[in-house]
Amino acid sequence: MAVKKCVTAVIFLAATTAGAAWAEEPIKPITPPKEINQAKAELGKKLFFDPRLSKSGFISCNSCHNLSIGGSDNLKTSIGHNWQKGPINAPTVLNSSLSFVQFWDGRADSLKAQAGGPIANPGEMALTHALAEGILTSIPGYVTEFKQVFGDNKIDIDRVTDAIAEFEKTLVTPNSRFDKWLLGDVKAVTEQELAGYKLFKDFGCISCHYGESVGGGTFHKMGMVEEYKAKSPAEGRKAVTGKDEDRFMFKVPNLRNVELTYPYFHDGEAETLTEAVDVMGRLQLGKKLSDTENAQIVAFLKSLTGDQPAFTLPMLPPSSDKTPQPKPFEE
Angle at CA of residue 49, ends 44 and 55, nearest 5°: 110
How far is residue 89's CA from residue 243's CA, in Å, rounded to a whole number?
23
Q: Does residue 86 interact with ligand HEC by CB under 6 A?
A: yes
266, 299, 304, 319: residue in contact with ligand HEC (rule CB under 6 A):
266
Q: Is 65 in the site for ligand HEC (CB under 6 A)?
A: yes
The yes or no reply on residue 257 touching ligand HEC (CB under 6 A) is no
Among 52, 281, 302, 303, binds ligand HEC (CB under 6 A): 281
Task: Name the residue among 133, 93, 85 with its Cα closest to residue 114.
Answer: 93
Q: Which is nearer to ligand HEC, 116 or 324 (CB)?
A: 116
d(CA 277, CA 284): 10
Return the residues of window 145-174 that contact ligand HEC according to CB under 6 A: 164
Residue 64 is labelled as binding a ligand: yes
Interface with ligand HEC by CB under 6 A: which range of 22-30, 114-122, 171-179, 318-326? 114-122
Torsion of CA 313, 76, 233, 114, to 10 degrees: 10
Is 293 in the active site? no
Q: Provide, rounded to whole angstroms, the least separation between the CB of residue 259 and ligand HEC.
A: 10
Residue type, 191: E
Using an 8 Å Cβ cutoff, are 210 and 27 in contact?
A: yes
Alpha-carbon span 247 to 200, nearest angstrom: 26
- The answer to whether 81 is a known ligand-binding residue is yes
Residues in the chain: 331
Nearest distance in Å: CB 255, ligand HEC: 6
Inter-residue long-range contacts of 84-87, CB under 8 Å, 24+ positions, other chains counted: 84/123, 86/123, 86/124, 87/123, 87/232, 87/233, 87/234
Please check if 61 is assigned to a binding site. yes
Judge contact between 258 and 223, C-beta under 8 A: no
User: Applying CB under 6 A, which of residues 30, 41, 125, 260 lies at the interface with ligand HEC?
Assistant: 125
Q: What is the DSSP string of 167-206?
A: HHHT------HHHHHHTT-TTSS-HHHHHHHHHHHHHTGG
Q: Is 132 in the site for ligand HEC (CB under 6 A)?
A: no
HSE, CB side, 13 Å, CA atoms: give it for residue 161: 16
Annotation-wise, does 208 bind a ligand?
yes
Q: Give the binding range for ligand HEC (CB under 6 A) out of 14-22, 115-123, 181-189, 316-324.
A: 115-123
Contacts of 58 (CB under 8 A, 6+ apart): 51, 326, 328
> Taking the complex as a whole, how short is the minimal distance between the CB of residue 24 and ligand HEC, in angstroms?
20
Query: Does 63 interact with ligand HEC (rule: CB under 6 A)?
Result: yes
Given the rule CB under 6 A, which of 187-195, 257-265, 311-319, 323-331 is the region that contacts ligand HEC? 257-265
Which residues are marked as active site?
124
Residues that bind ligand HEC (CB under 6 A): 48, 59, 61, 63-65, 78, 80, 86, 88, 90-91, 93, 96, 99, 102-104, 111, 114-115, 118-119, 124-125, 164, 203-205, 207-209, 220, 222, 224, 250, 252-253, 255, 258, 261, 264-266, 276-277, 280-281, 284-285, 297
